[in-house]
Amino acid sequence: MSRPLPPAFYARATVAVAKDLLGHRLVSTVGGRRCAVRLVETEAYVGPHDPASHAFRWHRSRRNEAMYGPPGSLYVYFTYGMHWCANIVTEREGYPAAVLLRAGEPVEGVELMRRRRGGVRDREIASGPAKLAQALGITGRLDGHLVLGPPLWVEVGEPLDHRRRGTSARIGVRRGERQRRRYFEKGSPHVSRPRG
């Protein structure tokens, strides 16, 4: 009997997705009007062995059920009593892993997004996971939906230059955070921390 493949084996795909999403456009037609951000910050929650993941130790509940869905599903959760945050599921059905969409640069329908966000300036529109969700109209109604078409999908954008790529520890994570699984565009004013 041989050793099982280590958790790191399964982490690779999710990490790759988190990195590769930078530069692509997240498009929303929620509410009938189109708007979009260019993704500039993501985080990887790589599976049941990730202590920061909502699916740590295969935890499964009504809240995180969507993490067990097929790749390309949305996992939208409610946190801190008032905010929605959106993830894209990355691994095979039944293996819970996802990428948190943390920040985006407004590129289309900016005034619509600004209105949803209470009239803030451009750099405040989607510079954080809950801000991004609010700007695009993402709520729990989209939990479990596929991001392959309306009302929410990802369009191909310019790949991010390697010089502009930054990595750090994840934000707001305390439980055994050793790896650097936050990926962002260096120097962007639209990330959730100044310049990353």
Partner DNA sequence: CTTGAGATGTTT
Partner DNA sequence: AACATCTCAAGA
Which residues contact DNA by CB under 7 A?
43, 45, 52-55, 59, 61-63, 67, 75, 78-83, 85, 87, 98, 100, 117-118, 120, 124, 128-132, 170-175, 192, 194
Cβ contact 79:86 at 8 Å: no
Estimate to the nearest angstrom the gap between the alpha carbon of 141 and the chain centroid: 17
Nearer to DNA, 68 or 75 (CB): 75
Nearer to DNA, 1 or 20 (CB): 20
Return the structure tokens found at 44.
């990887």
Nearer to DNA, 24 or 181 (CB): 181
Minimum CB–partner distance for residue 186 and DNA (Å): 16
Minimum CB–partner distance for residue 158 and DNA (Å): 24
H/E stretch holding 38:
strand 35-45
Nearer to DNA, 159 or 194 (CB): 194
Minimum CB–partner distance for residue 187 and DNA (Å): 14
The Cα–Cα gap between 45 and 163 comes to: 24
Q: How far is CA 189 from CA 27, 104, 106, 181, 196, in A?
A: 20, 10, 11, 20, 9
Minimum CB–partner distance for residue 72 and DNA (Å): 16
Return the structure tokens found at 150.
């309306």
The Cα–Cα gap between 183 and 196 comes to: 9
Minimum CB–partner distance for residue 1 and DNA (Å): 32
Return the structure tokens found at 160.
């991010």
Nearer to DNA, 63 or 186 (CB): 63
